[in-house]
Every structure is written in structure tokens, then in C-alpha cells.
Amino acid sequence: MTPRTLRSITGMGLATALMAAFTPATQTAPPLSPSHTTLMSSLEEVETNPEDNELLLVMDASGSMSESDDSDTVRIEAARDALHSVVDDLDDDLSVGLRVFSAQGETSNDAACQDSDLAVEIGSDNRDDLRDAIDSYDAVGDKTPIAYALEEAAGDLGAEGNRTIVLVSDGQENCAPDPCEVAQTITDKGIDLAIHTVGYSVDDEARQDLECIAQAGNGEYFDADDAETLNNTLQRLSLRAFQPFQLEGEPVEGAADIADAPALEPGQYVDTWKEGPQYYRIPRTMENSSLHVGASAIHNDTSSFDPLTVALGTEDAGSWETYRGGSYSTNDQLCSQVNLYEGTNDAALRVRSDQVTVFPDPEEEETDCNSADELILQLEAISNEDPNAYVGQPVEFVVTEEPEVANMTELPSVAEGGIHEYQWQSLEVDQEQSEELLGGNSFNNAPTLEAGGAYSSEIYPGESLVYKIPVEWGQHLQAQLETPGRAEFGPDLTVDRGFRLQIYSPHRGLIQHTTQAQGQEGKYYGLTNYDEPKLWQNMTHPVRWANRASPNAGHNDMEFASTAGDYYILVSQSEVNSDQQVAVPFDLVVDTFGEVEGEPQYATASATNTEDDDDAVAAEPTQPAEAVTPNVGDAERTGLSTTQTVFLGIGIAGLLLLVIGAFVLYRVLKTRNRSSY
């Protein structure tokens, strides 16, 4: 781990933050060919426009802002300096506005309670206007009309794109109406935005008000008592305010009854959890095909034990009761079932993802699951504490159909043994060649890593960063991450948090082991130990088609290492004790090992609803890596960002570092040619 100063950490973290507000999330998705005869297809790229995203800063200009904080910094001076830094470093095509409240000085009570002005309209190419407005506003107001400022701010924002309000105040509402009710009214109207609040040296009553506003406004509240805390908390807030974990797909609505379930073609979809189970139909368009469904969701922060269940079955299934006590199903009437489940509260992670697969097993007799022309997908959110805890929250799922394998007898058998029977290969790290690379905020925009590459970044409490790396048939993947001792980045840090280095299949299935490979020094999970550097390691079995038929001993340690393609690496840190807003730097190295072998040849598919099955012939070898990504085509896409993800702070002074790092990274990413799926 190379030494880093807090300043260098800050720059990268803040770059991440603003980039999420204004950088498009790129989705590359190769569809199956129209005839479904091969896995080859052209690539389509779907991306959002950063110019559609808007940020509105709402600043308190009441008289108390002329006082000093606990670090003897005058609050209004810190605000001006930070805002100037924002303006100086923002790219010209990014849309930002400034609203201030309580800036008019002595006025009547009625006028003071409507004292809020849009100092600069939201837009680009308005930097000179912003600079003038920053210099001209002062801490002179008699009232703190937060509710009125919020009502006006909601009208300032456009109707589309990612919209974020960051409200900073050092006091309590002392006008009418109730600002919490106003925030709730805004969200009840369906206005899709997040309101994040920061209490700058506030008392308990003001804190309660600001917390309520953030909760009602789909945002988060943060305390800041001094300049250093403001600085650190803004780094964390910026990451979550502008780059929450994204769930994306074509909007679809599941049905409460199987009879009304919508039919889904291979593709990527997004729905919201309902009260009770929701159903979808997945027609099989090719005989003897494998069907994969990968589901991703964000867990509710009230409990890590809430199972979010995903199941495949036939319409004739006698029972859809899913196993509630752990990760996998014991209901033999279902074809495949998994729970998106976390085991302990202290190490609970926001992102949950896993897959269910139904496939023709050459070693087993034909079953209804393998031969049915149509399967039923069930999603159900089960909360142990609140039955409606997940209602309305997004879930993303990917449906893929993989053709029958024509050369099955020539393929390698299931990989032998558990991971403890394999040897960990040493991963050499050349720190001088390490590349700073920000992880994605979604499976859909994960940056591509190169085998043998070394990378560095940082992570905040409650965050998950996603990377991807191509793995061929016959190869296995290794990932290694190192975190430093606290002396390098946060000497005052006093808490440990849950940490994970996870690997997911191309279908978003979680690959995790109950044992370690020979020579493997680090685990993929555990609590951080900030006194000393710590090593985290994870790997897969060699990728073989037959692995999907491996025995299940409680964890899918090999079952999901059964498709070549982009494997995802998720670096996550839990949010427990998130009051200490310090970014933890890390070094990541990845590599693939083994001969490329065992590539299946897919049969040309004859449709399941035709009578002539004699036309199926062996196809030419294909690029199976492209089979695992859905066709989103030109369908309407909706990006749903969880507002349940913890936003761990905002600071006024931190805006300076936020934008400096963001500007540089934005320029880099604009010119980056992302590798396709």
C-alpha cells in the first residue's frame, strides 16, 4: 500500500462524487440475434446525458452564519470559499444553481419568512453570475425560512434527469409551514429528487427538523461541527448524493397473480417491490436452453436479515413458499430459488445480488423445469420487522436465455473439489504502475480491468464499488485488495466496519466460499483492522459449463463459475459507525489463470412452438461472453437510484475538493473508450 495523504484521498473521493451527478452511466448490451441461433450480435450503447442532471445548492444566510464553528472558522467565509472553488472548477456543460435564504437583513416577519431568492438559475455557462452571487450574499437574515426555500427550490429544478438539492443550515425553522411536511409534499407529488440536509453546529431541535426533512425528501441528514468534519462528510455525501448505487432497466410491473403475469423476453428490467409476491412469465424460445435470471437490490437499513427472494418455477408448481431462514431453497416444487440475504447487521452491505438458473442437466432425467415452454419468475420482499419496508423500492433483474450445447460430450466435467483443494497463485503488485480507477456505481457502468492490472481507489462507509474483468472458458479469476493501517489516512479513526471483496458471475450471481485456497492469506470478508494493513483475497473455480450442475453445500462456490464473460468484482464497506466519515484507500490487483479451453458450441435453436425439430444443427463457435448480457435495445430505460443508500455527510469546505477532483475525472471519463460487454 503506497502512502497517501488525506488530501490525495480527498481528491479522488470527491471526483467520484460529482462525476456521479454529471457523468453518464454507460450501458453496453449485446442482444441475442433475432433468430436466436447464435449468441453473436452487434453492440448497442445506452447512456444518459450528463447535461440533463441538475444540482441546486441551498445555503443559509441567517445572521448566525457569521459565527465561528468549533474550529474557529467563520461559517459564511467557509461557505464563500467553497462555492468559489465549485464555480472555478466545474465543467461548463454541468448544470448548477444557487439559492439562498434569509439574506435580506431586517424585514417584517412576513417578509422574512418568504426571504429566499434564486441567486443564480440552474444552468451551464453561468459561472460569472455564480461568482458575483457568492460575493454578494452575506449572513444577515433574522429568520430561517427553510420550508419556503424548499418549496421554491422544488420549482427551480427541471422535470427530468437526476436532481439533487443540498441544503446547508446552522439553525432551526422559525416560520411556517413545517419544513418536514413540505419535503413530504414534494415527494408525494412524484417529484423524483433527493434532498440532503446538513446541520452545521446545530442543537438537538434543529437536528431533528433537518433529519425529518432529509427522510421525507428521500435523502440523508449529516452533522458537522467543525471545518474538518465538514470536509470529510462532504466527501461521503457527494459520493452518495451524486453516485448512489444505480438499478437500471426497462420498466416492467409484475402481477400479484400468475395468470396476469407479463411475459418477458431476454433483457434487463426494473420493477419495484410490492406487498406480497409478484410474478412474471419467461417463455423459452429455444429447446433445451438454459434460463438465467440475475436480480439486484438495495437492502433496507432497518435489518440485514430481511430476505429478498427470487425463484423460478413452472406454472404447475404446487407451492411457491420460499425458504425464509437463509440463502437457499428447500422447496423442491420450485426449479431454483435464492435469497438476496445478508447475515449480520454489523457487516451488512447495501447491495445484494444473486442469480437463479434452470438448465438441462445431461446427467439427470428430463424434468418439467428443463422442458417447460415457459417458466414463472417470482420476486418477493420479506421483512422480518416491517411487512412494507421494501414496498416501492427498486429491484433490477436480467433475463438471459442460453442455447443448447451441441458438443456437450466434449466439454470438461464439473471442476473437482472445493476451493480449499486449489492453489492460490501469487499476485505481484507494481505500485508504480498502479492506475487510479474509480469503481462504477452499478453493474451497468463498471469499468473494465485488465488481467494482471493493479489499481488504486478509496471507499467510504456504506459504499459499494463495482469493477468487471473478462474471464474465458477454462480460466479462473483471482482478486486481491489491500487496505492500509489508519496512520496513513485517518489516525483518529476508532471503529472497525464490515468489508467485502466479492465476485459475481456474468449473470450477477454471488460466488462465495466457505473455505480458502491453499496459500491464500486473506479472506474475502471480515472486519477492518485499521491498526495494521490488511489483505483481502477472493477467487473462482475454473470456468466450465458443467459447473452449474455442481452440488450445493450452502454457498454457490462453483455453480456460478459456469459462463465465460465479464465477472464483477464488488468492493464494499458497511455503514456501521458511519459518523466517522473517512475514506479508506485501497490497492486492487486482479489476474486470470489457466488455459482457455472447454468452450461450448451452441446448437442452432429450433423454436419451442414449431413441430419440426430436425433442423437443429451445430453452430459455429461463438463469443459466449456476449451471451450473458441482456438486450436493452432501444427500449425505454429508467435508472432508479436508491435513496436508502446512506449518505454520510456534507461539508461546505469540502465542495472545493469535490469539484477539483470531479473536474479532472470527468474530463478523463468523457474520453475513455469503455470496453463493451
Residue 162's CATH number? 3.40.50.410
Neighbouring-strand partners of residue 311: 337, 378
Structural domain ending residue among the three candidates 543, 571, 599: 599
**Same domain, residue pair 458 and 544:** yes
What is the distance between the alpha carbons of residues 623 and 617, in angstroms, rounded to a whole number? 18
pLDDT (mean) for 502-526: 92
- Return the percentage of the chain with pLDDT > 90, whole number: 37
Least confident range of 14-18, 51-55, 216-220? 14-18
pLDDT (mean) for 350-365: 86
Structural domain ending residue among the three candidates 599, 625, 656: 599
Residue of higher predicted confidence among 616 and 650: 616
Q: Is the pLDDT of residue 610 over 60?
A: no
Least confident range of 79-88, 176-185, 494-503, 557-566? 79-88
Q: Determine contact, residues 165/195, Cβ cutoff 8 Å.
A: yes
Three-class secondary structure of residue 385 per DSSP: coil
- Return the percentage of the chain with pLDDT > 70, whole number: 69
Q: Is the pLDDT of residue 444 over 50?
A: yes
Residue of higher predicted confidence among 481 and 79: 481
535 lies in a domain?
Answer: yes
Backbone angles phi, psi at 48, to 5 degrees: -95, 155
The pLDDT score that the predictor gives to residue 452 is: 94
**Same domain, residue pair 285 and 403:** yes
pLDDT (mean) for 349-374: 85
The pLDDT score that the predictor gives to residue 89 is: 60
- Count of the separate structural domains present in the chain: 3
CA distances from 389 to 75, 276, 298, 299, 325 (A): 38, 12, 12, 10, 18
Q: Determine contact, residues 481/588, Cβ cutoff 8 Å.
A: yes
Question: Beta strand 308-313 with 336-340: parallel, antiparallel or unpaired?
Answer: antiparallel
Q: Is the pLDDT of residue 476 over 60?
A: yes
What is the distance between the alpha carbons of residues 176 and 676, in angstroms, rounded to a whole number? 53
294 lies in a domain?
Answer: yes
Q: What is the grid cell recorded at 288?
A: 433445451
What is the distance between the alpha carbons of residues 601 and 410, in angstroms, rounded to a whole number? 10
Three-class secondary structure of residue 325 per DSSP: coil
pLDDT (mean) for 472-479: 98
What is the distance between the alpha carbons of residues 20 and 243, in angstroms, rounded to a whole number? 4
Residue of higher predicted confidence among 84 and 519: 519
User: pLDDT of 288-322, one tens digit each?
Assistant: 999 999 999 987 655 555 678 899 999 888 778 77
17 lies in a domain?
Answer: no
**Same domain, residue pair 128 and 216:** yes
269 lies in a domain?
Answer: yes
**Same domain, residue pair 428 and 394:** no
Question: Beta strand 194-200 with 221-224: parallel, antiparallel or unpaired?
Answer: parallel
Residue 293's CATH number? 2.60.120.380
The pLDDT score that the predictor gives to residue 342 is: 59
Phi-psi category of 395—alpha, beta or left, where left has phi over 0 and alpha has psi -120 to 50? beta
Least confident range of 110-114, 348-352, 448-452, 620-624? 620-624
The pLDDT score that the predictor gives to residue 301 is: 56
What is the distance between the alpha carbons of residues 341 and 354, in angstroms, rounded to a whole number? 9
Q: Determine contact, residues 242/17, Cβ cutoff 8 Å.
A: yes
Q: Determine contact, residues 101/148, Cβ cutoff 8 Å.
A: yes
The pLDDT score that the predictor gives to residue 172 is: 92
The pLDDT score that the predictor gives to residue 512 is: 85
What is the distance between the alpha carbons of residues 36 and 610, in angstroms, rounded to a whole number? 14
Q: Determine contact, residues 156/15, Cβ cutoff 8 Å.
A: no
331 lies in a domain?
Answer: yes
**Same domain, residue pair 281 and 378:** yes
**Same domain, residue pair 262 and 399:** yes
Q: How confident is the model at residue 639 (pLDDT cuts 50, 70, 90)?
A: very low
5 lies in a domain?
Answer: no
What is the distance between the alpha carbons of residues 135 and 81, in angstroms, rounded to a whole number? 10
Q: How confident is the model at residue 421 (pLDDT cuts 50, 70, 90)?
A: very high
From 242, 244, 263, 267, select the one nearest 254 (Cα to Cα): 263
Taking the alpha carbons at both ends of the chain, their separation in whole angstroms is: 31
Residue of higher predicted confidence among 425 and 434: 425
Q: What is the grid cell recorded at 11?
A: 481528491
The pLDDT score that the predictor gives to residue 318 is: 72
What is the distance between the alpha carbons of residues 405 and 668, in angstroms, rounded to a whole number? 42
User: pLDDT of 532-590, one tens digit each?
Assistant: 889 999 999 999 999 998 865 444 689 999 999 999 999 988 776 555 666 788 999 99
Top-ranked range on mean pLDDT: pick from 137-141, 250-254, 324-328: 250-254
CA distances from 171 to 62, 168, 181, 183 (A): 8, 9, 18, 17
Residue of higher predicted confidence among 118 and 498: 118
What is the distance between the alpha carbons of residues 243 and 227, in angstroms, rounded to a whole number? 24
Average pLDDT, the chain: 75
Give the pTM: 0.66
What is the distance between the alpha carbons of residues 208 and 230, in angstroms, rounded to a whole number? 19
* Half-sphere CA count of 132, side-chain side, radius 13 A: 7
CA distances from 421 to 415, 417, 475, 516, 520 (A): 11, 6, 16, 9, 11
CA distances from 334 to 151, 283, 307, 330 (A): 50, 17, 17, 9
Q: Is the pLDDT of residue 624 over 70?
A: no
Residue of higher predicted confidence among 63 and 220: 63
**Same domain, residue pair 222 and 113:** yes
**Same domain, residue pair 299 and 447:** no
CA distances from 656 to 79, 167, 342 (A): 10, 16, 37
Least confident range of 131-140, 191-200, 327-336? 327-336
The pLDDT score that the predictor gives to residue 615 is: 44
**Same domain, residue pair 445 and 357:** no
How many residues would you count in the chain?
Answer: 677
Q: How confident is the model at residue 259 (pLDDT cuts 50, 70, 90)?
A: very high
What is the distance between the alpha carbons of residues 553 and 66, in angstroms, rounded to a whole number? 63
Q: Is the pLDDT of residue 653 over 70?
A: no
Q: Is the pLDDT of residue 345 over 70?
A: no
**Same domain, residue pair 281 and 213:** no
Q: How confident is the model at residue 187 (pLDDT cuts 50, 70, 90)?
A: confident
Residue of higher predicted confidence among 217 and 90: 217
Residue of higher predicted confidence among 662 and 169: 169
User: Which residue range is the domain that position 553 belongs to?
Assistant: 413-599
43 lies in a domain?
Answer: no
pLDDT (mean) for 460-486: 92
CA 11 to chain centre: 21
pLDDT (mean) for 8-23: 35
**Same domain, residue pair 131 and 216:** yes
Structural domain ending residue among the three candidates 574, 599, 624: 599
Top-ranked range on mean pLDDT: pick from 104-113, 132-141, 235-244, 588-597: 588-597
70 lies in a domain?
Answer: yes
User: What is the DSSP secondary-structure string of 210-268?
Assistant: HHHHHHHTT--EEEE-SHHHHHHHHHHHHHHHH-PPEEEEEE---BSSGGGPPB--SEE
Residue of higher predicted confidence among 492 and 28: 492
The pLDDT score that the predictor gives to residue 416 is: 86
**Same domain, residue pair 211 and 306:** no
Question: Beta strand 54-60 with 163-169: parallel, antiparallel or unpaired?
Answer: parallel
What is the distance between the alpha carbons of residues 281 and 262, in angstroms, rounded to a whole number? 6
From 246, 444, 401, select the one nearest 312 (Cα to Cα): 401
